[in-house]
Structure 1
Amino acid sequence: MSIELALPAARQRPLMRALAWLASWRGVLVWAVASRIVVFVGASVVHLVRPHGYFPASTYGSLQNVLGAWDGRWYRMVAAQGYSLVPGHKSDAELTTMLFSKQDARRACIWVCVFPLGFVFSMAYPTSLVFAALALSMIFALRGRWLTAAVLVAVASLARPEGMFLALPLAALALSRRRELSGSARGRALAAVVAGPLAVAGFLVYLAVVFDNIRAWSTAEAAWGRSFRLGGILDAFAQLPADIRGHPWLVRDLGFLVAYLLLLAVAVRLRIGAAWIAAAALLVVLPLTSGTVESDGRFGMVGFAFYWPLARAIRKPWLERGLWVVSLGLLAWWTVALPLANP
């Protein structure tokens, strides 16, 4: 019996629209599912083998513990349960479609899915939440729903302070539409622009009130040998040879930093947009003020301007698919290597 005959007419349209959407995005969904299978199989290998690393073997007593390792332990102290979102979320696809084309959106989504560090999207980290909130915030801003965009960018900024960098694309959008916005709409647009920075400022006020130390967050980072200072970027590279000797996996983060900068250069040539490029650059450059390149690869994962050049510059199908497969292989390897390297 066909779907049309089996269901009442009132329910046929939503279901058919959903099926049509799934059919149109089936290529992206295949890569999304494949990438999560790779991550969970890799995490299962770690759980079963329990290799030696920075943590005792008991740390990997369950799949949840594997994906909740490293900073996930600290996030569990804040929240009773972690969260795990699937990359390639419809919000990312819709944002890219609104800014470029549907074909670019599909390719960008697949790059998000197979990104070599994409296992972080399935860990007890806020990365997936920040990614989705930032994408949705910009979508609502593009639709003129500025207050909703303000709430979402505030959520992203409270989850990770770098969420406030979306203020740059939001400001660029508001300026481009200033002539068509009414007075009240301009006020709402301004609210969206400042929501992220204000959310971070509010968190600092909270630290000052509760802990009597507005720099409590930075002070806590000192326990990991990180302290934010103006000369930190110079120190990060001056100390890099010694740091790599002690932690060889830092080569991975250095490689991603170089790759990100190259992608930004491509983004400039493709005229992706100065505000998006600046926001992405801040994601990977500002953390260097802590004096190390560690985790810089992860910090850049919420930068949309890193995925868009890949989607728009690589046009040969055989090359693109080959790179997706290679990236998927790296995703598998680095998932298995979780006990050895801090993401």
Structure 2
Amino acid sequence: MSATEVTHAGSAEESPAKPANEPTSELDVSSRWTVRRVGTLLAPALIFLGIREFGLLVLTWMAAVTDRSVTEALRSWDGQWFLAIAEGGYEGVPQGLVDAFGQRSAETPLAFFPGYPTIVRLFAGVDGAGGIGLVSASFTVTIVSGVVCSYALARMGQHIRGGSRRTGLILVALFAATPMSIVLSMAYSEAMFCALAAWSLVGVLERRWILAGVCCALAGLVRSTGAALVLAIGLAVIVAIVRRRDGWRPWVGGMIAPVGLLGYLGWVAARTGEWDGWFALQERGWGTGFDGGVATVRFSLEALADARSVLEVTTVGLIVVALVLLVVGFVRKVEWPLMVYAATVLAMDLCANGLMNSKARLMLPAFTLLIPVALALAKRKPSTTLLTLCALVVAGSWFGAYSITSWGYAI
């Protein structure tokens, strides 16, 4: 049997071998290349959506056990605020929605950034006929944002030191499987922010400064975590300017980057009559302020001492893991803008008091912490990598489902 026959034949019973001198048709070659290219193109989306679908299946099971509605669970807590703002604007939020202390003022809704609810409102078409509804629109925007983020992470994995396409796809899987990745399926703003942040950081790695600046500016309209992105982009821009790289582009990207965040904070300051209006709202309504990490340390010690709940003990474990990954990232010399971004996200989360139950969720945007894990798994045997990812998917899916079904407090 010739080499050609070995390549194209399966078994004698299944398909007869082609003669060695018979050329492969152009249609066959074109089909194989098309399938390969389509598979390559869709891989990040399929990995992300597949893992998130498994997470929703676990959520459905746990919701049935706890007699909860899946839809209600996916739009609970902050999701109610985002949906209310999307429907009626900041002035139209129902009075029944209150802050963590059960209080409410005219300015309370301003604590939530406008980016996500604005896109949900536009997509739902609430001002015209033929809209799909706010809840469906919110889930759609969240899922699409997650897919967009997956492509940025896949690309990021190829640009980092020692990276590859395989590293990028593993990074996508790790992101989709993180313990609080349930919010990537909820009416929450994390997915949209992560998509914009990831593409902004890709812009830095590729020295596409306009992309980095525009995505950073948009991210600043979605979450306050945009401050971490502004810092990382700003420092990268300064380095590029000092080294006289890329001409005028770093200047423009650097000027664009903080516009969204500073613009919204300035608008809230004008509405409240306080220069630190947004921060004051966070302090009054949710007890959130900078304390250098004192509250986080106290919470961690108390949770470990009396083991009050699975969620709290696991949250402490996740904090420790995040800090370890941060150190490993610097030791492994992951590109410094990515690590500066992750370090700042962690600092904003862990050095603030307020709702301790939200610590794990607020660490989700620090997705660049997963890079050392992706690099390590990319060097392992495929079977080892697959088993590890499967274990993480199961554990993360359970924890996320538990947090919005069995756990009775806000996340």
TM-score tier (shorter): 0.7 to 0.9
Correspondent of 1:91 among 148, 152, 164:
152
Trace 1:197-212 onto structure 2 (pairs within 5 A).
Answer: 198-212=259-273
Instruction: Give the C-alpha shift of residue 159 in structure 1.
Output: 0.7
SS at match of 2:221: helix
Q: For residue 24 of structure 1, what is the aligned residue in structure 2? A: 40
Residue 348 (structure 2) pairs with residue 286 (structure 1): yes
Q: 1:147 to 1:72 in 2, by over 3 A?
A: same
Contact 2:45/2:150 (8 A) holds in 1? no
Instruction: Give the C-alpha shift of residue 271 in structure 1.
Output: 0.5
Residue 208 (structure 2) pairs with residue 148 (structure 1): no
What CA distance in whole angstroms lies between the structure 1 residues aligned with 2:285 and 2:385?
Answer: 38
Q: 1:225 to 1:28 in 2, by over 3 A?
A: closer
- 1:172-198 CA-partner distances (Å, limit 9, x unpaired): 54324742322x334213225xx23x4
The code of the aligned residue for 2:223 comes to R
Instruction: Give the C-alpha shift of residue 256 in structure 1.
Output: 1.1
Instruction: Give the C-alpha shift of residue 27 in structure 1.
Output: 6.2
Q: For residue 321 of structure 2, what is the aligned residue in structure 1? A: 259
Q: For residue 221 of structure 1, what is the aligned residue in structure 2? A: 282
Q: For residue 112 of structure 1, what is the aligned residue in structure 2? A: 175
Trace 1:190-339 onto structure 2 (pairs within 5 A).
Answer: 190-192=254-256, 195-196=257-258, 198-222=259-283, 225-229=286-290, 231-242=291-302, 248=309, 249-291=311-353, 293-314=356-377, 315-317=379-381, 318-337=383-402, 338-339=404-405
What CA distance in whole angstroms lies between the structure 2 residues aligned with 1:323 and 1:224?
Answer: 41
Q: 1:218 to 1:190 in 2, by over 3 A?
A: closer
SS at match of 2:261: helix
Contact 2:240/2:250 (8 A) holds in 1? no
Q: For residue 180 of structure 1, what is the aligned residue in structure 2? A: 245
Correspondent of 2:406 among 332, 340, 343:
340
SS at match of 1:320: helix
Q: Which runs of 5+ in 1 are unaligned?
A: 6-12, 52-56
**How does the TM-score come out when normalised to structure 1?**
0.80
Instruction: Give the C-alpha shift of residue 161 in structure 1.
Output: 1.4
SS at match of 2:188: coil
State which drifts further: 313-322 or 254-263: 313-322
- 1:13-44 CA-partner distances (Å, limit 9, x unpaired): 9x998743432367655543331222221332
State which drifts further: 319-328 or 42-51: 42-51
Larger-Rg structure: 2
Identity of aligned residues (%): 18
Q: 1:286 to 1:186 in 2, by over 3 A?
A: closer
- 1:286-342 CA-partner distances (Å, limit 9, x unpaired): 223332543222222222321111111233234432221111111231233112334
What CA distance in whole angstroms lies between the structure 1 residues aligned with 2:79 and 2:286?
Answer: 18
Contact 1:43/1:66 (8 A) holds in 2? no
Contact 1:116/1:330 (8 A) holds in 2? yes
The code of the aligned residue for 2:268 comes to L
The code of the aligned residue for 1:286 comes to M
- 1:227-250 CA-partner distances (Å, limit 9, x unpaired): 303x35113313444467596222
Q: For residue 54 of structure 1, what is the aligned residue in structure 2? A: none
The code of the aligned residue for 2:406 comes to L
Q: For residue 226 of structure 2, what is the aligned residue in structure 1? A: 163
SS at match of 1:159: coil
Contact 1:92/1:109 (8 A) holds in 2? yes
Report the aligned-residue RMSD.
3.2
Contact 1:154/1:164 (8 A) holds in 2? no
Greater helix fraction, Structure 1 or Structure 2: 1
Q: Which runs of 5+ in 2 are unaligned?
A: 1-25, 88-133
State which drifts further: 140-149 or 248-257: 140-149
Q: 1:332 to 1:90 in 2, by over 3 A?
A: same
Instruction: Give the C-alpha shift of residue 166 in structure 1.
Output: 2.2
Q: 1:180 to 1:339 in 2, by over 3 A?
A: same
What CA distance in whole angstroms lies between the structure 1 residues aligned with 2:315 and 2:182?
Answer: 15
Q: 1:239 to 1:134 in 2, by over 3 A?
A: closer
Instruction: Give the C-alpha shift of residue 259 in structure 1.
Output: 0.6
